[in-house]
Amino acid sequence: MTGRCALLLLLALLGLQAEARGGRGHGEWDTGDVKLPPLPPREDAARVARFVTHVSGWGALATISANPAVRGRPFVDVLSLSDGPPGSGSGVPYFYLSPLMQTVQDLQENLYSTLTLSLAQTSYCVNHGFDPQSPLCAHTMLSGTVTKVNETELDFAKTSLFTRHPAMKTWPSSHNWFFAKLNITNIWVVDYFGGAKVVTPEEYYNVTFQ
């Protein structure tokens, strides 16, 4: 086998492995056939916050640790999330969690948490030459409590997450996965120089997208 043929075979195998792991087709924005819509006007902080939430497929959730080694200190984990299928965002970040996760163990003692979402996970900031820490690479901080989803929201939460993250359907049932959401009480938006902008939950949820 020539070196070129071996390389092509390796690339093909890697592609198959990515599919098997759910490494493609997650319904992400700005990948494949789903293109990122234009960023809303920066003077409309509430709309920017909803935009960032909707196009984000994952975020960093900070909790107060219940782990004896770091009890009482901040603890952060990366979680997949969705606020709705692409184009149908509700503004509510939904999660698929397991009691085995340290984050869930933290939440059992203290429901308060803060979620950070950034456009750095899309191609927006790279395409514009913005560093992930640059205020121009828009990001939001959503603070509140994480609770299990009730029966009223269960179907929407499931559809929202499984549409964006189909690999979740294959995760082992022995982990006792459940659907949860962030009940937002405070919102900060960083999308330009000069510090964070404060958005109220009412302003945030009153945003409508065309």
pLDDT above 80: residue 17:
no
Does any domain span residue 85? yes
> Which CATH number is 176's domain given?
2.30.110.10
pLDDT above 60: residue 26:
no
52, 118 in Cβ contact below 8 A? yes
Question: What share of the chain in percent tops pLDDT 70?
Answer: 83
Q: How many helices (H) and strands (E) does the chain have?
A: 6, 7
pLDDT at 2: 53
By C-alpha distance, which of 62, 80, 64 is closest to 116? 62
12, 158 in Cβ contact below 8 A? no
* Structural domains in the chain (count): 1
Does any domain span residue 36? no
Task: Give the predicted TM-score (pTM) of the model.
Answer: 0.84
Q: What is the pLDDT of residues 44-80, one digit of tens each?
A: 999 999 999 999 999 999 999 999 999 999 999 999 9
User: What is the Cβ-side half-sphere exposure of residue 46, based on CA atoms within 13 angstroms?
Assistant: 11
Q: What is the pLDDT of residues 129-157, one digit of tens each?
A: 999 999 999 999 999 999 999 999 999 99
Domain that holds residue 150: 45-206
Does any domain span residue 98? yes
- Vertex 78, ends 133 and 171: CA angle to 5°? 150
Q: Tell the residue number behind the tokens 């499984």, with chain if given.
A: 162
